[in-house]
Amino acid sequence: MQHAGPYLQVEDDLLRGVSLRSTLKGLGWMWRKSALRVPEGTWQRQWECLHRVQTYNVFISHTWKSSGSLKVLALMLRCGWQTALSFWLFSLFAIVFVQVVFPDVPQPFKLDKPVISFDAEYPLAPWLLIAGPLALLMGLFCTPYFPKCCRLSKEETCFVDIACIHQADEALKERGIYGIGGFLRHAEELRVLWTPPYLTRLWCVFELAAYRVANPTGKISLAPIFIEHSVFILAPAFWAASWCYSLSLAAGLPNYGYLLGEALPIGVALLPLLGFVHGLRRLFREKHKLYEDLKQFKLASAECSEPFDYIFVTSAIHRWYGSAEEFERFVQGPLFNEISGNSTKTVDVPLAYCLLLVTAPVSATIDETIGLWSAGAPVDVVLSSLLGHAYSIGVCCSLVSIKLLYYLCDRFAVARRPGLIDYLQTVLIYTSWSGFFLLGSYTGELSYRHSLKAAACHASITTVVAVFVCSWKFISDSLSACRRLLKANDKFPKQPSA
């Protein structure tokens, strides 16, 4: 690579940072609105709120060709999953407390479902199914306003172009735009909020090129927003499924005996997920497009609106990499390997998002456990329901099933043929996944209704499986690292000492 030249310089008084969380205030207005439609006074106040920095933890790279609202949703979940989960936990404890302390709280449904030695009718109230999703949404929307002292994770100092480049003062704006390379030089990490148009925008390409020149050892991370969108697709499906499960219990389906009485409510609960599975497959096609775009990247396909910007960016790339062809080889090879982590087979959904999704089945099972407690069931019956139902099925089986669903939808995201075959592919994925979840849940239901020991046994097995599945990426990466180390040792054997 050639000398960086003047493209990586920025004046010190322009180095100002912002927390990503604070850009989401007002429902992320600065992401959603055109800069030209925002009053100059608003931009001036925003500029005065920034704090001067020497370095950035993260430089956020994205394109304005993609929807700002979709980016706000993704960032809201990425920044606020801890707050949302905390709000849900608070609602859980609050509802348990209220129903235990005030037993006269209305419980509209009755359930006749024998558990161990307890075969009396007990009440069922869907209060956590009502409060749970409301608490999660409230937690997400309160995320930007949560006090710093209450946040569980350290706040990152970020560069976000719309916030850290003055949008009202034309002179400051121009200095900021053409100082992008300088901002990148002061960033510890370049985080790419990838959307399909990303590599078609010349300034985005410039940021990739400049960062590796400015920070040869810096981290480039890929953060495609379709991961968060998949959670927003599945969350309503899981809450709908949990409602179907509770309503099927209230309708008396458990009265059809052990086989149908257990399988029918779970089967009914899985029905709403069919359409969402197809939507998930369509979403994961973006990942395949991402890797295809990287492998087939051509500098000539990237565009920008201003002729001077085109000259500025392309001249910088030619100076750093020698030619457009050399830069294209860098994107298709080293950059592709780095940001894909040398693993392009399947999406690994973060455990944090899986925990958010399992709040739905856990809410349904906790409501049932509260009903047993309210009816005066023995302690071993309540513990068996809590351990074998809420934990084993609601948490462990659901975690494993979510991981499996993501794997299947990603692995078979691309249709072998468009049209009917595509929909049949979705039905096959749904059937396979439903069968797996039904088997795990059915054995769990039988276990916790049989005895506390059986519930503990099922919980132990599902815990081991869930831990293995959730840590599989770490195990796989560790094994890959060991193999690379062994190959390196074979390639460069130690010389015998004299």
pLDDT tens, residue by residue, 84-137: 999 999 999 999 888 878 877 888 888 888 888 888 888 888 999 999 999 999
pLDDT at 151: 63
Most distant pair of Cα atoms in the chain: their distance: 87
Within a domain: residue 494? no
CA–CA distance, 136 with 115 (Å, rounded to integer): 31
Torsional class of 200: left (φ above 0), alpha (ψ -120 to 50), beta (otherwise)? alpha
Residues 6+ away with beta carbon under 8 Å from 121: 110, 111, 112, 375
Within a domain: residue 490? no
- DSSP state letter for 394: I
For residue 286 the two structure tokens come to: 């973006």
Within a domain: residue 489? no
Within a domain: residue 450? yes
Residue type, 45: R
Q: Compute the residue count for the chain.
A: 498
Q: Is 408 helix (H, G, I), strand (E, B) or coil?
A: helix
pLDDT (tens digit, 9 = 90+) per residue, 145-202? Answer: 877 666 666 778 999 999 999 988 889 988 898 889 999 999 999 999 988 889 889 8
Within a domain: residue 391? yes
Q: What counts of helices (H) and strands (E) characterise the chain?
A: 20, 8
C-alpha closest to that of 204 among 404, 64, 19: 64
pLDDT at 342: 46
pLDDT at 491: 54
Write out the H or E segment, with its range, that includes residue 345: none
pLDDT at 263: 65
CA–CA distance, 351 with 399 (Å, rounded to integer): 8
Question: How many domains does the chain fold into?
Answer: 1
DSSP string computed for 440-486: HHHHHHHHHHH-HHHHHHHHHHHHHHHHHHHTHHHHHHHHHHHHHHH
- Residue 257 vs residues 261, 293, 437: alpha-carbon distances, Å: 5, 55, 20
Separation of first and last alpha carbons in the chain:
41
Write out the H or E segment, with its range, that includes residue 221: strand 219-222
C-alpha closest to that of 389 among 408, 412, 413, 361: 361
Q: How far is CA 51 from the centre of its chain?
A: 29
For residue 272 the two structure tokens come to: 């709403």
pLDDT at 418: 78
Within a domain: residue 492? no
Residue type, 221: S
Q: Is 432 helix (H, G, I), strand (E, B) or coil?
A: helix
Sole residue written with tokens 């149908």: 260
- DSSP state letter for 199: G
Within a domain: residue 169? yes
pLDDT at 212: 87
Query: What is the residue range of 38's domain?
Result: 5-476
Which residues in the chain land under pLDDT 50? 1-2, 342-344, 492, 497-498
- Helical H segments across 197-335, by residue range: 202-214, 226-250, 257-270, 273-295, 307-321, 324-330
Q: Is 201 helix (H, G, I), strand (E, B) or coil?
A: strand
